Structure formats: C-alpha cells, structure tokens
Amino acid sequence: MKTSNNPLRANRSSFRRLIALLLSLVLVLLSSGVTWAQAKVITGSKEKAADKSKSKKASSDEVNRPRDYRSANFLLHTDLPKDEADELLKRLETMISLISKYWGRPNKQPLECFVVRDLSVWPQGAFPPEGLAKIEEGAGVTLTQTRVVRGTGEIVGAKATVYAVANRGIPQHEAVHAYCGQNFGHTGPIWYSEGMAEMGQYWRAGESRVNCHPEAVRYIRNSEPKSLNAIVNAREITGDSWENYCWRWALCHLLANNPNYYDRFRPLGLGLLMDKPDATFESVYGSMSKEISFEYLFFLQHFDLGYEVTLTAWDWKSKFRKATSSVPVTCTIEANRGWQASKLLVKAGEVFELTAEGSWQLSDDGSLLNPFGEEAESPKPAKEGATTNKPNKLKKAGGKAESKTEELPTMIPYRSPFKSGQLVGVMFNDYELSEPFAIPSDGTFTAPADGQLFLRCEESWNKLADNKGKVSLKFKLK
C-alpha cells in the first residue's frame, strides 16, 4: 500500500495499474472459456445522523497515513490509528466467525477492505470511482468480480473488495457483502443482502435480542409500518436510504430468530446466495405469508432495544375449543413470554367461571405477585436454609444476582393502562387483534368479542426475559 500523496506518482501508478488490469483481462479472455464479470454490490447504508461526527477527521493533530493490517480473514488498508485498526479487525473477525457458522461455509480467502477516516491522507487514485464516490458520501460499497465459465455462467471464482468510511457499522455491513460475494458469488436480492448485512453489524453470539442503532428504533416506531410485500417484492435499489435498510433488517431479524420461521430461513438464504431458481420468498414462505405479515407488524409495533422475538413468537399450533360447564378449558401462562394461547374459543358475551392459580415476578428480585398484579398473599415457601420468604432479595444482598446480559435502555416509553403483573387478554380473530383488556379478579370472565383468547402477564415488551413464574387457568362456561 502506497502512502505517498504525491499526485504525479499516484497518477503514474494508477495508470500502471490500469494497464496491468487491462492486460490481465485480455489474457484471461484469450486463455480459456472463463471470463471476468464485474458485479457491483453497491450498498452504502447512508450514514446515520448520530454517527456523523465520527466521519470527520481524526481529532488528534497527528496524521495517520494509510497502512496495512492483517488478520486470519482480512486484509485491511486503513488510516485509522493502530489501536482502532486492531479493534476493527477484532470486530470483523468475530462477525465473520458468526456469519460463516450461520451459513455453514468457512471464508476461503482474505477479504480486502479499504476503511477510510480521512480521505485527504490517501494517495490519489487509491480507489476506483465507485469506491471513491461512496466514501465521499460517507457510506460504503463492495465491488465483487466473479469469474464465470462462458456459456454455462458457472461461477468458478470471486474476489470482493470493500471501500467504506470508518463509521462504526459500515465496514462490518460491507464485510458481510464481501463474504457472501466471495464465497457464494452472489449476495441475493436486495431485501436479503441488505437485511443480512445490517444483521452482520449487530450480530452477537447466542443473542436474539434487538440490539440495533437507537436511531433505527425511533424511526421504526414513528413510521407507518412497511408491508411485507413492499419489502420483499419492491424494485428497490441498493444504497437507497438507511430508512429502507431498517425495514429489511427487521424482517431478516424476525425470520432468522423467530422459531416459527427460522428453520426455513437459512436454507432459503443459502438458495438465494447460490442463485437457485426455486429459492424465492414466495416458494418458501408463501403458505405462511399471513402469519409472517401478522408477526412482522406486531414486531414493528412493539419494537425496542431488548425486544426478543423468541419470547414473543405467536402460537399458531395450539388448538382452540369452546368450554362447557362440565368440560373446562385449561392453560398455563408464563410470565416471561408474550401473548400465549389460552386455547379458549369464545363468542362475544359468553360468561365463564375462571379460576387462576400461581404467582409470578417481574424480575429476579421482584415481589411475588398473584395473577392480578397484587402482592401474593401466600408467598412461595422459603428455600432451604433461607430465613426469609423473599429468597431472591437475600441472593441480591449476597452480591451476585446480576443478569448475564446488560439491560438495554428503553427507547420508546412503555405506556399501559394496566398494572404490571396483571393478567391481560386480547382477542385474535382472522389475523386481527382486539384492544387488550384486564382479566378481572372476581372469578368471572365475559368475552368481549368473538375469537381466540390470548393471555399474558403485563410488562414492558422488551423486559420479559427476566420474568419468573407462571399461572394456571381454568375456564368453565357459566
């Protein structure tokens, strides 16, 4: 990597490089039936407002010349200071190990990345025009050259190069494209390639919580939700806007993590990356499109940092039936899940006798609550050796009751007319939900509308994971 910024030398060398490129192209064309085709994967998640400061020149007076850094899977050319370059390589390596495990294909050859903080310290001609343009607009691009067999179109080799500004997230996003381009020869349709590249920058091992840019949460919660069809079938262009990237990422996050859909998502993705003709969203998910639309909309409406699609996946499998006076319908509702099937099918106005047993807590050391959100009258028996009936409080006093993952801030304040810990219900009918309602504690339940009754323990949607306990319910027609 040259570090000179003498324009004459740079021009001469880029001219030499051009000649060399042309020569090698001619040689390849002449030597076999294999041709090089340049496929541009133009991405450029437009930089987010909150990141702008980071694209400015390094604040220190010292000028960092571009240098080369290597790790197992990357060749990084960057003007970042060494400590930041090392940190970036570490993040890229973590990500590449996660995504190559996910797609089941180890990265074959180093991915080359140009990561720019201060364009003025780079020699002229250091970047191809597409790369330079994206860097100038504060974004990134991945250029992939594929070698294909003339006639059959079979891909026999690929080389991807990333050009990106040093903003947190963008090099990682582009590196996902580079991995896909280089190892599969394709990156898939826009919704998949951009959605998964965005996932790449947020991916954490064994973690399915929403952990994205706070700006994305605010945008999604304050916008009219984009329909599934608009995302999957729209003729959108890559690099269009960071707002569109949010929707694509949210869809990929849902499909990759929700147990109703993840089994089919990985093979679909592999098919898309290998450009298999039968790998389309419609062919894989067509029969589930109503369910996905419903869950996607629900996800967007309750979207926040810390929201877990694994805990809020809709129960499409439970069978619902009517209760009679002699054959009740019973169910168990867990405190740490979203809406759960009561298995009770109702008509508006039907009155049921309801018994509710059990208790729950809204955090490790929270009070024990009955199903109606009141402090439980008969607390759990004290654990062996404990002298108090609040064993968790004792544990905390011992100093080690911290949860394993740090709590993410709530971006959108959760407002609810119900008491925390109250058993609440919602009617599901033809993929529509009623307004939620509290289940009264007086032992009767009157169905407010026709449909299937779903229940949950009232709590912020992004704080379900640390809830404990469950309640058992019995509905008998009066």
Min dist. Cβ of residue 97 to Zn ion (A):
20
How far is Cα 301 from Cα 96, in angstroms, rounded to an integer? 31
Spatial contact of 42 and 130, defined as CB atoms under 8 Å apart:
yes
Answer yes or no whether residue 342 interacts with Zn ion by CB under 5 A: no
| Stretch (H or E) spanning 42 | none
The interface region with Zn ion, picked from 189-197, 208-216, 220-228, 289-297 by CB under 5 A, is: 189-197
Spatial contact of 270 and 99, defined as CB atoms under 8 Å apart:
no
Spatial contact of 36 and 28, defined as CB atoms under 8 Å apart:
yes
CB closer to Zn ion out of 181 and 425: 181
Q: Which phi and psi angles does 217 have, rounded to 5°?
A: -65, -50
The interface region with Zn ion, picked from 11-19, 191-199, 204-212, 335-343 by CB under 5 A, is: 191-199
Min dist. Cβ of residue 160 to Zn ion (A):
12
Spatial contact of 447 and 350, defined as CB atoms under 8 Å apart:
yes
Min dist. Cβ of residue 168 to Zn ion (A):
15
CB closer to Zn ion out of 198 and 334: 198
Spatial contact of 79 and 118, defined as CB atoms under 8 Å apart:
yes
Residues 142-181 as x/- pattern, contact with Zn ion by CB under 5 A: ----------------------------------------
∠ CA 416-420-423, rounded to 5° = 95
∠ CA 414-420-424, rounded to 5° = 95
Min dist. Cβ of residue 82 to Zn ion (A):
27
Min dist. Cβ of residue 242 to Zn ion (A):
10
Spatial contact of 140 and 134, defined as CB atoms under 8 Å apart:
yes
CB closer to Zn ion out of 194 and 459: 194
Give the one residue of 116, 135, 190, 197 binding Zn ion; rule: CB under 5 A: 197
Dihedral (CA of 404, 409, 411, 416) sign: positive
How far is Cα 202 from Cα 217, in angstroms, rounded to an integer? 13
CB closer to Zn ion out of 55 and 452: 55
Min dist. Cβ of residue 248 to Zn ion (A):
9
CB closer to Zn ion out of 197 and 473: 197
CB closer to Zn ion out of 73 and 201: 201
Min dist. Cβ of residue 104 to Zn ion (A):
22
CB-based contacts of 442, cutoff 8 Å, min separation 6? none
Residues 24-63 as x/- pattern, contact with Zn ion by CB under 5 A: -------------------x--------------------
How many of the chain's residues bind Zn ion (CB under 5 A)?
A: 3
Residues in contact with Zn ion by CB under 5 A are 43, 194, 197
